[in-house]
Structure 1
Amino acid sequence: MNESSEPLPSAGDVRRATPSRRGLLRTAVTGAAVTTGAWALGAPTATATPAPRRTRPATPGAALRELYAGNRRWRTFRERHPHESRAVRTEVVSGQRPFAVVLGCIDSRVPPELVFDQGLGDLIAVRSAGEVLDEAVLGSVAYGVLDLGIPLVMVLGHQSCGAVSAAVHADETGETLPAHIQYLAEQIKPAIDHSLPLTARVDAAVTAQVGLVRSRLAAEPDLAARIAEGRLAAVGARYELTNQVVREVP
């Protein structure tokens, strides 16, 4: 898929969360945000002038095109830094309507809001070293899809990933990594292709890890139903540090 093409979602819909569960979650999240946010802004909500409601991408294809368009602005130094105004900061106090979940690495060089030139309320950014999945990460992705109705999940790896490099090194040497870093290495290990020369393994494992994580997410029952209906797409991509391009990973 290129930057202008419409993605073909591979599988589809999720069981809708029950109204009571959604209501409780949203009341807990947005209710607290309204109370503390209005106080922090120093303006009573009753007299605040609401900002015009933004139209977010509503389909997987539109969401993906928006991400690629934002990345094009980023890599050509034409960033808009959208949705940072005083009006937007007031608007998001009462709720959020993000259009994509980006599951990326913790690497400080790859913040999703910057590399896709997005602003407040646009993305759910979930980050773990090497995009490793655990229950907290899965729950965070599911919350974005099931409760916020997000139509796109992108798994975003990146060039020269330190977590992947550590996993390849540990696999090659048999070294045990410190503390919880060993857990990360074990989770990334299935992405390592031992048939490749050692010099090529890290870069290949970065791409393979994205594909494995994307496949796992797409197989989650609550996500797979939405994918089958075309209401959700789960895609893989990687970010190249050398030229700041995001490209699709099959």
Structure 2
Amino acid sequence: MSCRNGFIGRRELLKLGSIGAVGLAANLWRVKQVYAAERSVIEPPPNPDLALKKLMAGNQRFVQHQPQYPDQSAKRLQEVAQAQHPFATILSCADSRVPAEIVFDQGIGDVFDVRIAGNIATSEAIGSIEYAVALLGTPLLMVLGHERCGAVTAAVQNEALPGEMSTFVNAILPAVKRVADQPGDAVNNAVVANVQYQLEQLQQSSLLKERLQSGKLKMVGARYDLDTGTVSIIA
């Protein structure tokens, strides 16, 4: 390379520029390849029907005491460290006996959990669900109630409660009133009615409604049996 008076000649400068351009293009290509490889590690969410089948198959493994404990390895931890693509969003009760990942035999990054007493669709819960569905692309949304729910029982009894506990009772009362005259167990009737009612509240979200109408989202209601561990679709 020639250098006259401390300056690089025009021809040499052009050579350097072309080499730099080639190097930059190569580096960009490598970055794109690495990014694509990282993205391919996590499988894209299945379609809504397959997502539901996958969730219910996990529950069957749990009920039959044959769990596979999927997606719980150190490798999986690294796979989802930078991005999450849960295949199901579940609005469930905060009850300690109904942990979604366990009763559906799923692992890290599989389920977007929104847990609140009485599985009620508060504004905060709806916002969390909209985030999972609209931004993360979750294809399945389940509202999961459960047998002998304490929050629903409190709403059926409709007695004064201390602190802020009356807030979830008030959110369940409309469902309780719907089935007040039905025969059978009042709490169980209200558990089912509450799942259906909270689904209706979620369907008022414009973001969720758009995904439903496009076929990219499936919404279902379900009931968990505390005695058997079985999840049954009810809506």
For Structure 1 versus Structure 2, the TM-score category normalised by the shorter chain is 0.7 to 0.9
Give the C-alpha shift of residue 89 in structure 1.
Answer: 1.2
TM-score scaled to structure 1, two decimals? 0.75
- RMSD over aligned Cα, in angstroms? 1.8
Counting only pairs closer than 5 Å after superposition, residues 143-154 of structure 1 correspond to structure 2 as 143-154=131-142
Report Cα offsets for 1:186-216 as digits up to 9, x if no partner. Answer: 111111122136x711110000000011122
Summarize deviations over 1:95-151 as a string: whole Å, max 9, x none.
111111000000000000001000001010000100112221111000000110111
Structure 2 equivalent of residue 122 of structure 1: 110
What percentage of residue pairs aligned between the two structures are identical? 40
The 1:56–1:50 alpha-carbon spacing in structure 2 relative to 1, beyond 3 Å, is closer
Partner SS for 2:232: strand
Per-residue displacement from partner, 1:73-96 (whole Å, max 9, x unpaired)? Answer: 000000011111111111121111
User: For this pair of structures, how many residues does the alignment match?
Assistant: 198
Deviation at 1:50, TM superposition (A): 6.5
Q: TM-score, normalised by structure 2?
A: 0.80
The change in CA–CA distance for 1:187 and 1:51 in structure 2 (over 3 A counts) is: closer
5 Å-filtered alignment, 1:9-20, equals none
Q: Which residues of 2 match residues 1-250 of structure 1 at below 5 A?
A: 53-170=41-158, 175-192=159-176, 193-196=179-182, 200-250=185-235
Distance 2:144 2:44 in 1: 21
Q: Amino acid of the residue matched to residue 171 of structure 2?
A: Q
Q: Indicate the SS of the match to 2:203.
A: helix
Structure 1 unaligned segments of length 5 or more: list them: 1-45
Letter paired with 1:177: L
- Code of the residue aligned with 1:135 in structure 2: it is S
Instruction: Answer yes or no: is the 8 Å Cα contact 2:62–2:102 preserved in 1.
Output: yes
Shift of 1:243: 1.1
Given that 1:50 and 1:90 are in contact with CA atoms closer than 8 Å, whether structure 2 keeps it comes out as no
- Which secondary structure does the structure 2 equivalent of 1:114 belong to? helix
The higher radius of gyration belongs to 2
Separation (CA, whole Å) in 2 of partners of 1:234 and 1:142: 13
Return the alpha-carbon distance in structure 2 between the equivalents of residues 51 and 142 of structure 1: 23
Check whether the contact 2:70–2:107 (CA below 8 A) recurs between aligned residues. yes
- Is the deviation greater in 85-94 or in 136-145? 85-94
> Structure 1 residues 119 and 167, CA, compared in 2 at 3 Å: closer, same or farther?
same
Contact 1:51/1:87 (<8 A) preserved: no
What letter matches 1:183 in structure 2? T
